[in-house]
Structure 1
Amino acid sequence: MPMKSADLERVRALPLFAGASEDTFRTVTAGAFLHRFPAGTTLLMEGDPVDFLYVLLDGIVELEGTWNDKETILAVLRPVSTFILAAVVLDAEALMSARTIERSDILMLSGEALRGAMSSDARFSFDVAQEVAGCYRGLVRAIKNQKLRGGAERLANYLITQQVRQGGGETVTLPHEKRVLASLLGMTPENLSRAFAGLADYGVVVNGPQVSLTRPVVLNRLAKPTPLIDNHMPPSETAIGKAERERWRAPGSSSL
């Protein structure tokens, strides 16, 4: 597909590219490919060499990991976001597979060009470092969430996060089917169902993809959200640096 100036403007607005010089941005995007992939397309497999940085402009992409005939969903990305940045920087193999959930427009930027731009543009290199560091901190949050909380507590915090992201109303819409949600929360579908049932006493009422949070104070008392784990809370000056505050304001800029 031909590149549109509007698409380039969306990429330019990402924190990763916002500080790059015009020459750097032109160099990185000069050989870019814009493709429209149908739903269910495997973009890359874990273990594959990574030749491109992927920028999701439209659609939804699922990042997965597998081991010993088991698989798990690591993240579900929505526009505008980049992924596989760490592998591109290191010129290493992918640790995750990527697959489109729905028809998706994806811009593919040369990994070699990006690494060359990092060598020649100190500001761009710094922005890449900030992006990777932000993803690392996101990984630490996810690990703390998995290791320190039980299933009901993870689900409670997830629902509170969705409530904040969807405007603060009493009813939220689950953005993923429950199979995907269970995997994202590190649970089996059966454990997720039990967790939902257990939250009924905390005012959680489930009606298909619609979930009503009728006792928010009680649910918050169970969840005990903290900005040192949960990204639905406005970061404080002391707990989080400037780059991560910007990422909190623009959650679509993930660079897993």
Structure 2
Amino acid sequence: MARRRQLYEGKAKILFEGPEPGTLVQYFKDDASAGNGVKKGVITGKGVLNNRISEYLMLKLHDIGIPTHFVRRLNMREQLIREVEIIPLEVVIRNVAAGSISKRLGIPEGTRLPRSILEYYYKNDALNDPMVSEEHITAFDWAAPQDLDDINALALRTNDFLSGIFQGIGIQLVDFKLEFGRLWEGEEMRIVLADEISPDNCRLWDAKTSEKLDKDRFRRDMGRVEEAYQEVARRLGILPEAGNGDLKGPEVMQ
């Protein structure tokens, strides 16, 4: 494996220096966490599956003109991405009541929402990623009003497109989290979709049975977590060509 300099390690991924300026290598781990890191574990093969699922969905989004940081998949656990300035927001798009919105507002889980709802959370682990408003975002200069307009438009378009993809394979896209970044090309800047799209940050339910096919199985100790991720990949037609076997990660340069 190539020797690369590690730049950052998060809960589910590691970022390494890329092969050329303006690029990074994103490595997908099997580590899993919930409750902002309170609960930790390992989902065998998760990194392999998330790499493939995210690659597939990012390419589909690119095909309809949604800009992303994704360049190409390098191997079973790594992908080449463009280096972007991450905007410190998690944008959550909700189509069906589940998780925190059900707890906060007393809406029974599984209730179809009147329309898709966008929520914003400030990315700060020490503060448990608090929910914020557009006023907070623009007042504290996390994003300019025009940036926020672009983010909202991209998020809603992504939701419409992904909902259709999942509906076509018998899966309901309940809600999901997106992150965005600023991609600088000379003096020009544009907002692009970043991070990943996978069962780690999407709630995916079987359209007929409402069986959970996402990380909620880990959060709620429901079991069969690996099988749920595999089922999503199977329905998308992208089970890894070498199975879910673990691959050695890149050797880290200190």
Query: TM-score when scaled to structure 2?
Result: 0.26
TM (norm. structure 1) is 0.26
